[in-house]
Structure 1
Amino acid sequence: MSSLRLNTARLSTARLATLTLALLGAAASAQTTPNTALKGTISVWAWKDPIAGLKSLDAAFAKAYPNIKVEYVQKDPGGGAIYNAYKLAFSAGSGGPDVALIEDSHLQQLVKLGTLADLTSQVKPYVVNLTPAKLNTATLNGKYYAMPWDIGPVVLYYRRDLFKQAGVNPASLRTWDDYLKAAMVIKAKTGADMLPLSKAKNDGRLLETLLWQQGSGYVNAAGAVTLDKDPRATKALDLIQSLYKSGASADIETWTDSYYKVIADGKVATLPMAAWMGGFLKGWIAPKTEGQWGVLPLPAFAGSVSRTSNDGGSQLAVWNSSKNKDAAWAYIQFHIAQKDSALALYEKTDFFPALTSLYKDPAFSQGDAFFGGQKISQTYTALAKTIPAATVYTTDYTDMNSMLSIEIQKMALGKQDAAAALKNAADVIRSRTRRN
């Protein structure tokens, strides 16, 4: 999931009641047999929208585990607040959670610190139903430290009305070259920009998406920095530079009021973003634009077949110093590793589940009115299985992203070219992280 707000009002009371009954039956039979002897109070740290989703299953959890009390502590990820709190609790040696919600981008950093319990034996039964790309984010040195909740397959959201007005067939966007050509046509015929892409406030996320699409990242498999040596990084940043130079991108910072407005007002034609963006569009960014959006696979780079990437995703982990590790795992297993509960969470939150075994459920073959009746979940499921393994989320990810963003901003403002941006970013990252 992204660390931003989501619409959490999708699931009707009647539907939730039905799912709660299903959960009670499943918990006692096919999926796992609750150990009712487990007892204690567990603390779950997360942010607002995930908490709302998790709480919706707590009545069923209380029936299955009557002696486990759950307390939620809301800590927002904005500005790194929840991650700073995790680090402070670890440094203090006390005061941490029992269950920690962690975005994939931050997971390996916390594992490296020693904050999380080894969950290898607990997670192994689910490995067959998790994609390699997702498992890589939960793994360090061959051990699993979290149970994956959601995944962020990246698609191209596009405005049906703008494409129609410009006479551009969405299906023609097979490559990024096609995308650039379409951008110029759409700009000329509608006045709309192809996408929002800030210069001075570029956050590096689009470049990371393009790196991941190609199975690349900040480092190679050995952990050595490769930004200035990998031709895939050059392709990715050259594309971004072309988008700037085309005049068909809007210089607007993401996650600002101006950003929300251009999306809602139809001033941008596409958004290359993860599955969680669909919920954002429907729920609060552009709810009045129902029927005007469609979903496509990402355009491919020349010579590549990859039509997706990953952005975001999250996992639930057990705090290493927790005195209630078994109860904490029972909570995790019940809420996100069982079919009915995982499906209920998806309908409640729009967090696209990581467990591929869920994708055959009828819930994933329904048309979505907001997207013109398109069966968008089928697009997500097909692409989720093809996300390349990549090396974007490392143990030094936060620092790497910050350093790279600065160099992209310099390039966007005309202070250096793409090659210099990658070299400077790589040099600074090597120096500060002590990597080769």
Structure 2
Amino acid sequence: MKKHIASVWIGLLLCAVKPALAQTVLTVSAYPAVDEIIKNALPEWQKKHPNVQVKVVGREYADHHTAMTTALAASSGLPDVMTIEYGYLGRFSQSGGLENLAAEPYRADLNADKFVAFAWQQGQFGSQEQTAVPTDIGPGAMFYRQDILQKSQVEPKQLSGRWEDLIAAGQQIKARTGVYLVAHARDIKDIVIRSGLTAGEGIYYNQQGQSVVGTSPRFKRAFELAKQVRQGGLDAKVNAWSNEWGESLKRGNVAVQMMGAWLGGHLQNWLAPESAGKWRSTRLPEGLATSWGGTFYAIPKKAGNKALAWDLVQHLTLNKTQQQLALQKFNAFPALKEAQSGAYFDQAVEYLGGQKARAEWRETAQKITPTKVFRNDPIAEEIVNAELDLVLTKGKAIDQALADAHRLIQRRAQR
């Protein structure tokens, strides 16, 4: 009798174990806060796929892209769905390790018109391949501390006029409150080099893949303005995403931070939640409409569950409800045009003092010129930043710094 009972229990256990063993595991690699957006979207998606276990591997931003770079190079350890930030698109797209989503059976190109044009084109490699699909975008915006401006008697319109007006406002802010205008003079450079871009051009390269750092006037102006900020003592000399940077935003040591519209969500949720009502958003100086970051999904060629991976990518990018939930919960501005409508865009943002900022961000997104990404964009950025640091800290002549950067970038591009 005991043996019979034992065999029955063993049989039941085996029956219970079989479904678990048969369950498909889908792996998604992401960085904050995209990993949370994906997790929030899974319950709805898994209604269609109850036997699929989705494992979301979340790493810090730099660690994630380093891990994906290594995995693509080794063609091993790759997820089924890979999250890519805009700055790494060129490198990953040209690695040869990602599926062409414009080809069968995906045919992502049939949905191209549903996305904002500049983001869709950023996910392209050449004229025939779509290696990544956009999910959120970063319309450029300027976040500022309204309380600090009031103490300094500076009007918000002074911030979004000419760059020289912004610097003059920074001088007034520093003189009357002791608060720095920006976290780092590099912040000014990062925005100015994105001005005046033409369709099909990159930030650092022309359409033929040749460096424009030494010839484009936007780089010289960017360096000159950054130098003015540093010489005026208007920057706190702290790098973005460092602990010191977070503390500066939290404590109100910095009056202005220019980034993508998604920064509003970061300020609200983890950078400076206790500063609710003190921050505002406005346009970038000189009416500049530019993209700052953005998130894309790709499927590696070595992925083990491509059909399920594509189904999940479509849910994350083409589902209007999901895109709007990501905006409402995480301030991830939707790349899907259909999701950029509705009453939510006209609602006041409590964290921003009741400001209706989303409509302004949408207007900026509609004006952004489609630009191209290149494999060596991250390297070019490092070289330009290194030369700017020499200008700011060692007094290197701007013309020489740009000429040296141009030469180094061109040399790397020819390899």
**TM-score of the pair, normalised by structure 2:** 0.87
How far has the Cα of 1:297 moved from its partner?
Answer: 0.2
- Alignment-mate amino acid for residue 330 of structure 1: D
Identity, in percent, stands at 25
- Alignment-mate amino acid for residue 404 of structure 1: V
Distance verdict in 2 for CA 1:226–1:372, change over 3 Å: same
Alignment check: 8 A CA contact 1:40 1:327 kept: no
Alignment check: 8 A CA contact 2:46 2:52 kept: yes
1:308 aligns with 2:289: yes
Residue in 2 that maps onto 1:148: 134
Match of 1:370 among 347, 351, 371: 351
1:45 is paired with a residue of what secondary structure? strand
Distance 1:115 1:95 in 2: 12
Residue in 1 that maps onto 2:319: 338
Distance 2:241 2:194 in 1: 22
Residue correspondence of structure 1 range 63-74 to structure 2 within 5 A: 63-74=47-58
Distance 1:172 1:111 in 2: 40
Distance 1:318 1:380 in 2: 29
- Alignment-mate amino acid for residue 417 of structure 1: A
How far has the Cα of 1:54 moved from its partner?
Answer: 0.9
Match of 2:82 among 87, 100, 114: 100
Residue correspondence of structure 1 range 241-390 to structure 2 within 5 A: 241-300=227-286, 306-390=287-371
Alignment check: 8 A CA contact 1:153 1:383 kept: yes
2:240 is paired with a residue of what secondary structure? coil
Distance 2:226 2:327 in 1: 33
Distance verdict in 2 for CA 1:365–1:61, change over 3 Å: same
Match of 2:31 among 41, 47, 55: 47
Distance verdict in 2 for CA 1:260–1:94, change over 3 Å: closer
1:295 is paired with a residue of what secondary structure? strand
Distance 1:386 1:166 in 2: 32
How far has the Cα of 1:48 moved from its partner?
Answer: 4.5
Match of 1:185 among 158, 169, 172: 172
Match of 1:432 among 406, 412, 415: 412
Distance 2:231 2:281 in 1: 26
Distance 1:94 1:416 in 2: 44
Distance verdict in 2 for CA 1:390–1:207, change over 3 Å: farther
Distance 1:279 1:214 in 2: 28
Alignment check: 8 A CA contact 2:195 2:218 kept: no
Distance verdict in 2 for CA 1:257–1:321, change over 3 Å: closer
Residue in 2 that maps onto 1:114: 96
How far has the Cα of 1:100 moved from its partner?
Answer: 0.5
Residue in 2 that maps onto 1:89: 71
Distance 2:34 2:388 in 1: 32
Distance verdict in 2 for CA 1:95–1:416, change over 3 Å: same
Residue in 1 that maps onto 2:400: 420
Unaligned ranges ≥5, structure 1: 1-38, 301-305
1:56 is paired with a residue of what secondary structure? helix
Count of paired positions: 384
Alignment check: 8 A CA contact 1:219 1:226 kept: yes
Deviations 1:6-26 (A, max 9, x none): xxxxxxxxxxxxxxxxxxxxx
Alignment check: 8 A CA contact 1:130 1:355 kept: yes
1:150 is paired with a residue of what secondary structure? strand
How far has the Cα of 1:258 moved from its partner?
Answer: 2.4
Farther-moved stretch of structure 1 (216-225 vs 40-49): 40-49
Distance 1:90 1:254 in 2: 27
How far has the Cα of 1:74 moved from its partner?
Answer: 2.6
Distance 1:270 1:243 in 2: 13
1:97 is paired with a residue of what secondary structure? coil
- Alignment-mate amino acid for residue 60 of structure 2: D
How far has the Cα of 1:136 moved from its partner?
Answer: 2.7
Unaligned ranges ≥5, structure 2: 1-22
1:137 aligns with 2:122: yes
Distance 1:176 1:86 in 2: 38
Alignment check: 8 A CA contact 1:212 1:388 kept: no
Distance verdict in 2 for CA 1:98–1:267, change over 3 Å: same
Q: Kindly report structure 1 stretches of 4+ aligned residues shifted beyond 4 Å.
A: none
Match of 2:148 among 145, 149, 162: 162
Distance 1:164 1:95 in 2: 53
**CA RMSD for the aligned pairs?**
2.0
- Alignment-mate amino acid for residue 141 of structure 2: V
1:238 aligns with 2:220: no
**TM-score of the pair, normalised by structure 1:** 0.83
Distance 2:180 2:294 in 1: 28
How far has the Cα of 1:223 moved from its partner?
Answer: 0.8
Distance 1:222 1:400 in 2: 15
- Alignment-mate amino acid for residue 175 of structure 1: R
